[in-house]
């Protein structure tokens, strides 16, 4: 009976060692190196942002399309300031974007812009994005105001560091101020998901 108990213990120990070996092997790459990504890396995680912009005076002007009426944005580029979950306080010297195109609707007075850029954490890790924004200019055009509502969807297209293969998107909402010194600025909040 004692031999059977010892034999059973040996089998249990071998099975446990084999299971541990299989689990360790599943976390290695083809090179045999252990992967840095955890098992939840493809799980969508909530992301929230609070951003303000300042105009990039070195960026070019952008002419928008509106048949028969010249319309443009003084500076197409901007720097970003603020906070983003997963990044913390962002680096405003490296966090930036640029509007690549714009279109003003003559009937609704909504300015549509296509934008792209990067949001950089204090440690240098960054996420890159592309976006489509809509700015309501009715208050500015018809009421002499200096602000208009902005909404948009920004899509995360990758990054560097821990965000090298990041995906996801977030919606933004806020205000654009067209009377800011140096060119239009905006203040927005954003919510969405990020995978990395």
Domain ranges of the chain: 1-35, 45-195
Cβ atoms of 106 and 67 within 8 Å: the answer is yes
Q: What are the φ and ψ backbone dihedral angles of 36, each rounded to 5 degrees?
A: -80, -15
CA atoms within 13 A on the CB side of 4: 1
Closest Cα to residue 115, out of 92, 136, 99? 99
Cα-based angle 88, 89, 93 (whole degrees, multiple of 5): 130
Per-residue pLDDT averaged across 74-101, rounded? 96
The answer on pLDDT for 6 being more than 50 is no
Q: What are the φ and ψ backbone dihedral angles of 101, each rounded to 5 degrees?
A: -155, 160
Instruction: Specify the pTM.
Output: 0.77
pLDDT band at 195 (very low <50, low <70, confident <90, very high): very high
pLDDT of residue 165: 94
**Residue 153: Cβ within 10 Å count:** 16
Per-residue pLDDT averaged across 58-74, rounded? 79
Per-residue pLDDT averaged across 17-30, rounded? 43
pLDDT band at 34 (very low <50, low <70, confident <90, very high): very low
Closest Cα to residue 108, out of 133, 134, 148, 138? 138
Of the two residues 2 and 124, the one the predictor is more confident about is 124
In the predicted model, what is the mean pLDDT of the chain? 83
The answer on pLDDT for 24 being more than 60 is no
The answer on pLDDT for 8 being more than 60 is no
pLDDT band at 70 (very low <50, low <70, confident <90, very high): low
pLDDT band at 66 (very low <50, low <70, confident <90, very high): confident
pLDDT of residue 12: 43
CATH classification (class only), 45-195: mainly beta
Per-residue pLDDT averaged across 107-119, rounded? 95
Q: Which of 45-54, 65-74, 128-137, 175-184 has the lowest mean pLDDT?
A: 65-74
């Amino acid at each position: 009976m004692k031999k059977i108990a010892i034999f059973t213990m040996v089998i249990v120990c071998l099975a446990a060692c084999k299971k541990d070996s299989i689990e360790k092997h599943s976390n290695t790459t083809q090179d045999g190196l252990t992967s840095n990504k955890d098992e939840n890396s493809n799980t969508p995680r909530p992301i929230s942002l609070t951003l303000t912009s300042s105009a990039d005076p070195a960026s070019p002007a952008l002419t928008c399309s509106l048949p028969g009426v010249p319309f443009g944005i003084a500076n197409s580029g901007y720097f970003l300031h603020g906070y983003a979950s997963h990044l913390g306080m962002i680096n405003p010297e490296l966090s930036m974007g640029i509007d690549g195109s714009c279109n003003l609707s003559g009937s609704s007075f909504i300015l549509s812009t296509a934008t792209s850029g990067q949001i950089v954490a204090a440690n240098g890790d960054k996420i890159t994005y592309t976006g489509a924004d809509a700015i309501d200019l009715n208050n500015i055009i018809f009421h002499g105001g200096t602000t208009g509502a902005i909404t948009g969807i920004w899509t995360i297209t990758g990054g560097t560091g821990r965000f090298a293969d990041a995906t996801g998107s977030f919606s933004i909402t806020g205000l654009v101020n067209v009377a800011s010194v140096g060119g239009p600025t905006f203040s927005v909040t954003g919510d969405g998901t990020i995978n990395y």
